[in-house]
Amino acid sequence: MDWGSDLWDQHDVIERHTQSGLELLERYVKFVRERAEIEQTYAKQLRSLSKKYSRRGVKEDQDTKPSNQQSFQDVLNQLNDYAAQREQLSENMTLNICVELSRNLQEMRQERKNHLCEVKKAQQNLESSFKLLETSKKRFEKEWREAEKANQQTERVQQEVSATKADVEKAKQNTHLRVHLADECKNEYASQLQRYNQEQSSFYHSEIPSAYKKLQEMEERQIRLLADGYVQFSETEKNLLPDINKCLDAIISTGRSINEKQETLALIEQYRSGAAPPADVEFEDYSQGVKAAASDNTTTHLPKVRIKQLFHKKNKPSSLEDLSRLPPDQRRRRLQEKIDDIQKELQRETEQSEALMKMKGVYEQNSQLGDPSSLQPQITQTAHDIARLRGELNKYQVQLAEAGGGTLQHYPASSEYITVLSDPSVSPSENIYEYEFDEDFDIDVPIGQCTALYDFDGGSEGAMSMQVGEQLSLMQEDQGDGWVRVQRASGHVGYVPASYIQII
């Protein structure tokens, strides 16, 4: 069974039904689109929630927080990842369902319109053929009646006594003409009837079934697309469930990994001062004279003073650059952490310096590979960085040794000047830097490189002469007075007009 053979006379039903199916598909597309928007809004709100409760402050301050507070930050980070999965779900629904179904919906609307137009056109052709049939039929009917009248007239003329032979002959000729015209109309009517029957048969047995069958196939595709859309709606979210579950499992693992005993012990490790509690207050017997409260070398503090010192709330945490006010244990721990960080950074800078020197040597051997002078700014900057790091390392190692937490390993790093050896045979890991030790550790590090655009004589006090094209190190930017401080490779420092240089 199909629509063409069984619903050939239900054109209006088929038209309404196919329209209803396409409207249902359109409603489903709108539904999925709104669902995707809900997921997008949900993800946005989750991100806002995570940002609202995320820990703020500098990294050093965050690192001092207990690990259970860091765990809460991990939960918020996983919530961000969870929000990202909801955004991905929204995007997949929009692209894989809404976009695809909208394209098919537009195509099927046009296809339905074309099929209905075919039916309408075939019906109009059949109606036109029927009108021609009716016209030929009426003409045949009219001409046949005229022929009968002519025949009856001829019979009356033949029966009249007064009729002449000529009258009889004329009546016979008129009758013969009318009969001939009636026969022609009869043949035309028979031909038009045959043509109409053929067109009607084709209309009801070929054109209508074919068009309705195509509409039926289109309706089946529409139903299949809608059904697949239901499946895809679920599978789209189901495919993301592993990633979503990873976020949720990570939150579960974070909660289960917290050890409340270790948390409380970590507070001891972090804030233990190493100081001994105050000694017992000695009894002062006023009946035998005031007893010395303290010896020449020590000072006795009253318990209330000790308590005030122990529980006095600090206004602001000590800076990492100044750790002298921290309790001994905390100071040693923080100094060691700082030394470890600087040593890692120093290792990276040293490796980078070695790589630059090797590259410079390769360029000097084969100039086609590159210009050796182009690496000089990077080499200079790396040299300054290594000198600064070694100076900081010496500083903190001295403080750690004073705190009784390690042995001093001297790195001559702080300087009033730094000279980068240009000889490629000298390894950066050996003696690529020459410095003079300065206990104040005040290194003037370049903040960039610049090139002189014009000659400048440097006649005024504090100014430095330069020649056009000369490359200089930028030590200080323009502070609003139109001058910048620069340094030559020789170490000479001075001021030049800011408009006379170009920062590179």
Q: What is the DSSP string of 447-489?
A: -EEEEESS-B---STTB--B-TT-EEEEEE---SSSEEEEE-T
Encode pLDDT of 219-253 as tens digits: 999 999 999 999 999 999 999 999 999 999 999 99
Token pair for residue 229?
């859309």
DSSP 231: H
pLDDT of residue 324: 66
pLDDT of residue 41: 94
Confidence at 27, pLDDT banded by 50, 70, 90: very high
Does the structure show a pLDDT above 50 at 277? yes
Contact 369, 363 (CB under 8 A): yes
Q: Chain-wide mean pLDDT for the chain?
A: 79
- Mean pLDDT, residues 278-299: 61
Does the structure show a pLDDT above 70 at 398? yes
Q: What is the distance between the alpha carbons of residues 32 and 17, in angstroms, rounded to a whole number?
A: 23
267-273 LR contacts (CB < 8 Å, sep 24+): 267/66, 269/333, 270/64, 270/330, 270/333, 271/327, 271/330, 272/327, 272/329, 272/330, 273/327, 273/328, 273/329, 273/330
pLDDT of residue 434: 40
pLDDT of residue 273: 67
Does the structure show a pLDDT above 80 at 98? yes
Encode pLDDT of 329-361 as tens digits: 777 888 888 899 999 999 989 998 888 888 888
Amino acid at 304: K
pLDDT of residue 426: 40
pLDDT of residue 83: 93
